[in-house]
Amino acid sequence: MGCYDTLLSPQVASFAFGAHGMLIGGRWQSAQSSKTIDVFDPATGRKFTEVPAGDAADVDLAVRAARRAFADGPWATMPAAERGRLIWQLADRIEELVDEFAQLESLDNGKPVQQAKAVDVPEAVARFRYMAGWAGKINGETVGLSQRGEYHAYTLRRPIGVVGQIIPWNFPLVMAAYKLAPALAAGCTIILKPAEQTPMTALRLGHLMAEVGFPDGVLNIVTGYGETAGAALAAHGDVDKIAFTGSTEVGKAIARAATQNLKQVSLELGGKSPVIVFPDADLDRAIPGAAAAIFFNQGQTCTAGSRLFAHRTVYEKLVEGIHSEIGKMVMGPGLEAGTTLGPLISAEHLDRVNGYIEIGRREGATIVSGTLPRPRGGYFVNPTIIVGAAPDMRVSREEIFGPVLCVTAFDDDELDAIAMKANATEFGLAASLWTRDLSTAHRMAARIDAGTVWINTHNHFDPALAFGGMKQSGWGRESGFHAVELYSSVKAVLAPLN
């Protein structure tokens, strides 16, 4: 137990500090090996519980349970509208327990509890609700054939089958919802592997799903390490689809493993997203917007606006403005009510982020650190601005995944020249443009190689709007009907009528 435990409600404390199993075929159980993984509070670095360290043997049991639930039993025969109702009820229950989920997420991940309450939990709820609405509306179509003759031809859209889902630690509940909601709507059965650092809200969700009436085996949760449980899931011969959110490096390993049985693959990977501020931007909006784009969630956001391109005429004002935004932040334990900036996820990640700041310094960039009072213990890092980072420096090219912003000035007025700089990255997840000129905004949006382009906002998501990456930021689009497509397959039926 840590020293902020008194800030937890009795329900959250009793769940978090209690014993945890993993969920296989409706039963909560230990790993076959009996091994466990310690779970830490990032605000203190103290272990607060442990979860089973599942590996290939547990993944195999979970896949069998998911296959049984997919092939027969109540889920296989359940009317689609009934699936939708269960998903909707799950959303209602999460919403009722918003405080509980927010505290649990904050304890496990370190994020400010107020942000978990205002952003993470409502996003997860919205995602389940939106996808609940698709469940009864997943149809094929009748097709008029292109060649001579009379035919009846149509398509059916069927659940893809047993799906493996591997998620990261930065938005544990939201990522679980992104993955589970469309798969459930489509009628799949699931093996979910949460990140080793943040299994808590996924496990709580597993309990809630049983409570609202999802049949056994529809959701199985294998807690475990990526290299063992995750790799076994990606390689398993009886998994029909693997969905992954995480680093580009691991995404490539997943894609390779999936070739063993040619399972379908969708990937949401890393980013190095540009924030481009034009001379006519509303700086009262752009300054807090650019600061939030990088510092929200301690910079541990795949779409973080980590490369700021500011037109020379607004450059100084922006850097000063963002620096003073840092001054308004309150760095502290996520569970304390006033905190706006929590710790990073782990000691290892703290070293990595500090390492990048040092690399930036050695490469010759200027480091402008915030000077926020630093809490004792925990994995805290000051928000940092790196000015004068040349495009070929590592800090400009690699994903830091922390509160570290690289700023560059540009003098160009040609959109193509600006776009070329912004697009000079192997990633293509997101971008934001800050301008009052509609023509600049939309002409620039067309030139940016990214799955999402925001105009005068950043990190604004909606379950209805496509989300995913171009280039090495991923394969496939989550959200909207695109997400349902990831979890279904199309069958064509053709009959000559004469």
Give the binding site for ligand NAP (CB under 6 A).
Answer: 166-170, 193, 195-196, 225-227, 230-231, 234, 245-247, 250, 253-254, 268-271, 302, 399, 401, 429, 469, 474
Q: What SS3 state is found at 218?
A: coil
Element (H, E) at 27: strand 27-29
CA 372 to centroid of chain Cα atoms? 28
- What is the 8-class DSSP label of residue 22? E
> Given the structure tokens 């799906």, which residue do they identify?
163
Q: What SS3 state is found at 101?
A: helix
Q: How far is the CB of 179 from ligand NAP (least distance, A)?
A: 10
- Amino acid (1-letter code) at residue 433: L
- What is the 8-class DSSP label of residue 72? S
CA 188 to centroid of chain Cα atoms? 20
Tokens representing 418? 């600006």
Residue 351, Cβ neighbours under 10 Å: how many?
Answer: 13
- Amino acid (1-letter code) at residue 117: K
* Paired sense of beta strands 22-24 and 27-29, if any: antiparallel
Q: How far is the CB of 308 from ligand NAP (least distance, A)?
A: 18
Q: Is 286:458 a contact under the CB 8 Å cutoff?
A: no
Q: Choose between 129 and 349: whose C-beta lies nearer to ligand NAP.
A: 349
Q: How far is the CB of 327 from ligand NAP (least distance, A)?
A: 27
Q: How far is the CB of 431 from ligand NAP (least distance, A)?
A: 14
List strand residue ranges (DSSP E) for 139-204, in order. 151-159, 162-166, 189-193
Q: What SS3 state is found at 451?
A: coil
Using the CB atoms, write b or e for 395-416: b if 16+ within 10 Å.
Answer: bbbbbbbbbbbbbbbbeeeebe
Provide the sign of the torsion angle of the four alpha carbons 359, 361, 367, 372, taken in this order: positive
Q: Choose between 273 and 435: whose C-beta lies nearer to ligand NAP.
A: 273
Q: Choose between 196 and 485: whose C-beta lies nearer to ligand NAP.
A: 196
Closest CA to 462 of 123, 134, 168, 121: 123
> CA 31 to CA 223: how far, in whole Å?
9
Let me know if 95 is a catalytic residue: no
Q: Choose between 269 and 310: whose C-beta lies nearer to ligand NAP.
A: 269
Q: How far is the CB of 108 from ligand NAP (least distance, A)?
A: 12
Q: What SS3 state is found at 296?
A: helix
Q: Choose between 256 and 436: whose C-beta lies nearer to ligand NAP.
A: 256
Q: Choose between 42 and 246: whose C-beta lies nearer to ligand NAP.
A: 246
Let me know if 188 is a catalytic residue: no
Q: How far is the CB of 385 from ligand NAP (least distance, A)?
A: 20
Q: How far is the CB of 400 from ligand NAP (least distance, A)?
A: 10
Q: What SS3 state is found at 326?
A: helix
Which residue in the shown chain puts its C-beta closest to ligand NAP?
A: 226
Could you say which of 105, 196, 268, 478 is catalytic? 268
- Amino acid (1-letter code) at residue 190: I
- What is the 8-class DSSP label of residue 24? E
Q: Which residue(s) pair with 190 in the sheet?
A: 163, 219
> CA 369 to CA 264: how far, in whole Å?
44
Q: Choose between 3 and 465: whose C-beta lies nearer to ligand NAP.
A: 465
> Given the structure tokens 């930021």, which residue do they identify?
473
Q: How far is the CB of 243 from ligand NAP (least distance, A)?
A: 11
- Amino acid (1-letter code) at residue 100: E
Could you say which of 188, 302, 325, 485 is catalytic? 302
Q: Choose between 314 and 422: whose C-beta lies nearer to ligand NAP.
A: 422
Q: How far is the CB of 118 from ligand NAP (least distance, A)?
A: 19
Q: Choose between 227 and 413: whose C-beta lies nearer to ligand NAP.
A: 227
What angle do the packed helices 415-422 and 438-447 form, to 10 degrees? 50
Active site residues: 268, 302
